[in-house]
Structure 1
């Protein structure tokens, strides 16, 4: 599995709790510890659905591990067009952008690319240590 570097500025280095397939592995360990039987295929399907994000977009989720309500964009935005996305706080993210030029993205806590920001490398996904508002997005 490919590991992707992420840079966290202002929101805090503790913001990233999981990347890649870590969530699936920990879920399997938890189930094994509790005596439950798990299916690798079932876990893979659940993980894929949880991190659903259209190619070329960055997605922010209100729940951990790519769950909950999703807000996404393929473009740099100064402010979310959706009222729900304008007022949501997010717990996880995924950058499913295209590689190369403008593949990385920054999510800002304020509109017009202001405030603290989270820089997400192309292909990265993970959880934030606490809920954060993402009010504007910039691809670079």
Structure 2
């Protein structure tokens, strides 16, 4: 299937997608700040430059987009029809990098929390027990633990 826009326009469109300060990330940051949590943003000294670093809780938080980080069985993780080989390699590399970064952080003594974009879209933060989750002793967490929206 051919793309409906020319390659230069598609490249510009894909290049304009933000990796920092996304809507889901800002939403989570505002909620955590209102709950009294203090954090640092995008610490380049740590593997993967986590989106939020809560040093007091030995916790790093990644806010992952379902498309780019391939949230399994998620509606938002649809694959493009054009250039399927390119996209498959791109997504596999992203997933391998995510796993490697999380392992490196764990070896440095950090707990890792992954927050998925779809979870923030379809969940009321006020009803969720995020502060308890952050303070809990669990080492590795995937939040929210709700079934992703399927097609």
Does TM-score exceed 0.5, indicating one fold?
no
TM-score scaled by structure 1?
0.29
**Structure with higher strand content:** 1
Which structure would you say has the larger Rg? 2
Question: Could you state the TM-score of these two structures normalised by the residue count of structure 2?
Answer: 0.27
Greater RCO, 1 or 2 (C-alpha within 8 Å, sep 6+): 1
